Structure 1
Amino acid sequence: MSICLKAAGDVPLGQLVFYRSAFAIVPIMLMLAWHRKLLSGIKTNHAASHVLRGLVGVASMGLQFFALMHLPLPEAVTLNYAQPLFVIVFSAVFLGEVVRAYRWGAVMIGLVGVIIISWPSLSLFTSGQGFTNGQAAGVTAALTATAVSAVALLLVRRLVKTEESGTIVLWFSLTSTVVGLLTLPFGWISLSWTQFTVLITAGLCGGVAQILMTEGYRHAEVSTVAPFEYTSMIWAIAAGYFLFGEVASINMLVGGVIVIIAGLFIIWRERRLGLERAAAKRVTPPGP
């Protein structure tokens, strides 16, 4: 999906969001129809919560796309790995979850990795170029997108208590499609056949990815599935080099490894805490 969006070239963000979202609906609808949940997938008693999650998700998506346009593919992908760090912080601040020293330490280490990745671009601010330099703006957008995405994930955590996965995915795609379409008056461009093709492909890939990710988390624990997401760095490095002539920097490789280690530790710690809580429930006698 990211490769196709980057290959589309200079396309307005709202137009990218529309194509990515609208064509993602196709595989999602097919999945719901296959499971005979098409009507139930659309129905919900929490429309406002879905729209809020969609708006937050669209904001993150737009920022991610901006980062893709202004950063090498490996850096744009790797900076997304900071999401678990923001989830921990926001869970503690907004949800009142207890975060102990182990996970705070992982957050700090992960942020060091983010700084290492971002430093060559963010140092451009000190040279007086600031946002006039695309890479500095791209890094800022990528980090902001990651923080906003963490907020969206917290909203999803609340929705999954009452909603089916298909309903959450479908409503997000519908909301982001409408938001993208509303940007039409602000200057969409005429697409070439190549751009049209890669944007449709990006949308289809995005929809299939959402389905596969949902099914992955349905059939296996987060601690089992999540580490596989980090293999995207390998694909990003390869695609960046062979398709776009981008060579991964030492900062990206070193910082990326540090962020991945921190993320894996957080996932492992979450699993350990989950097992401990489950064990405590089993041995706690029922109340009177």
Structure 2
Amino acid sequence: MSVNLAGALLMMGSMAFFVLNDTMLKLTGGAVPLFQLLFVRSLITCGLILATKGRLGALHFNIARRDWVIIWVRAATEVMISYFFLTALFNMPLANLTAILQVVPLAVTLASAVILREAVGWRRSLAIAVGFCGVLLIVRPGAEGFNIWSIYALIAMIGVTIRDLVTRKLSPTVPSMTVTLVTAASVMTSAGLASLGTPWVAISAESWGLIVASAFCILGGYFFSIQVMRSGDVSFTAPFRYSGLVWALILGWFVFGEWPHVLTLVGASIVVATGVFSFYRERKLSI
């Protein structure tokens, strides 16, 4: 097996784990209040990371002050993403939400050009514009399918874009697992404090199973995503992140009986096509 093929399989595996995580949380069906759910899931995730004792990647805290600032900004952004993403997840079809998030690579490219002054040619600029038109087909402003949850999904997408941009500023020596642990701990702390304002409920055995499975899926997705960075050409493996949309369509149909509107499918196809083209152009220019 070539390293590029291995990288592609690992990328698809990571996307499968992330979508499975979303499915497990959505299956709780609101039986557990959001902040209590986030606290418990993050607590388990922190425990799993510490239990691995660095086997999934280096784990230490000897990090420069500049990088600590970036890590905490990233963690604060993740807290915001967790709230808006999960709220949207519980109130809209899984495939619709996943389709909206597929625009993140295009949004990161656009933000890199505007904020970081990175060079982006007219072809990729056109692809970004067309991709955002695809998002409009997914959310359909003014249509019956557009509601407050679509706005929550868009806010989550913006948050993920900011998070990815901030992450790019981290020094290469910063351990990924340390960043993950700090992020999970930040979400846990914030959710725990927010949950004090609402009554906690007893968690059923079924919900416990779903939450624990979700924590394992998050860790599995992260482990696979780490391995992707060590296998093959990133510009080759990156487009395979769109396999997450396929997983969302399959699980949304078989688990929740959801199938997106035809315009949503058309919009998602446009977003994926423009994203793949953008990766292709980036790879071609780097040769």
| TM-score bucket (shorter structure) | 0.7 to 0.9
User: Which stretch shifts more, 110-119 or 87-96?
Assistant: 87-96
Quick check: 1:52 aligned with 2:79?
A: no
Q: In the alignment, what sits opposite 2:226?
A: 214
Cα 1:137–1:36 shift into 2, 3 Å: closer
CA-CA distance at 1:233 after TM superposition: 1.6
CA-CA distance at 1:32 after TM superposition: 4.2
Find the partner of 1:196 among 208, 211, 223. 208
Q: 2-side partners of 1:157 and 1:246: how far apart?
A: 35
User: Which stretch shifts more, 260-269 or 221-230?
Assistant: 221-230
Q: In 2, are the aligned partners of 1:19 and 1:203 still within 8 Å (CA)?
A: no
Q: In the alignment, what sits opposite 1:63?
A: 84
Q: Secondary structure at the match of 1:33?
A: coil
Cα 1:270–1:13 shift into 2, 3 Å: farther
Q: 2-side partners of 1:225 and 1:215: how far apart?
A: 11
What residue ranges of structure 2 are gaps of 5+ in the alignment?
1-20
Give the number of the structure whose alpha-carbon radius of gyration is greater.
1
Q: For 1:90-239, list aligned pairs within 5 A.
A: 90-119=111-140, 122-124=141-143, 136-190=147-201, 191-239=203-251
* Cα offsets for 1:114-137 (capped at 9, x unmatched): 111111xx325xx8xxxxx9x611
Q: Secondary structure at the match of 2:102?
A: helix
Cα 1:78–1:19 shift into 2, 3 Å: farther
* Cα offsets for 1:87-110 (capped at 9, x unmatched): 122112221222221111111110
* Cα offsets for 1:28-66 (capped at 9, x unmatched): 33444336844x2x4423333211110112211221111
Cα 1:218–1:172 shift into 2, 3 Å: farther
Q: 1-side partners of 2:56 and 2:265: how far apart?
A: 42
* Cα offsets for 1:1-23 (capped at 9, x unmatched): 01011011124332333233222
Q: For 1:8-87, list aligned pairs within 5 A.
A: 8-10=28-30, 11-34=32-55, 37-38=58-59, 40=60, 42-45=61-64, 46-87=67-108
CA-CA distance at 1:173 after TM superposition: 1.6
Q: In the alignment, what sits opposite 1:89?
A: 110
Q: In the alignment, what sits opposite 2:279?
A: 267
Cα 1:188–1:200 shift into 2, 3 Å: farther
User: Which stretch shifts more, 188-197 or 108-117?
Assistant: 188-197
Quick check: 1:256 aligned with 2:275?
A: no
CA RMSD of superposed structures (Å): 2.1
TM-score by length of 1: 0.84
Quick check: 1:5 aligned with 2:17?
A: no
- Percent sequence identity is 27
AA partner of residue 198 (structure 1): L
Q: In 2, are the aligned partners of 1:24 and 1:205 still within 8 Å (CA)?
A: no
* Cα offsets for 1:173-208 (capped at 9, x unmatched): 222222222212121531222222212211221122
Cα 1:273–1:27 shift into 2, 3 Å: farther
Q: 2-side partners of 1:116 and 1:103: how far apart?
A: 20
AA partner of residue 264 (structure 1): V
User: Which stretch shifts more, 14-23 or 252-261?
Assistant: 14-23
Q: 2-side partners of 1:36 and 1:123: how far apart?
A: 46
User: Which stretch shifts more, 237-246 or 180-189?
Assistant: 180-189
TM-score by length of 2: 0.84
More contact order relative to length (CA 8 Å, sep ≥ 6): 2
Q: Which has the higher helix share?
A: 1
Q: 2-side partners of 1:240 and 1:230: how far apart?
A: 16
AA partner of residue 194 (structure 2): T
Q: 1-side partners of 2:82 and 2:57: how far apart?
A: 29
Aligned residues: 263
Cα 1:187–1:92 shift into 2, 3 Å: same
User: Which stretch shifts more, 49-58 or 221-230?
Assistant: 221-230
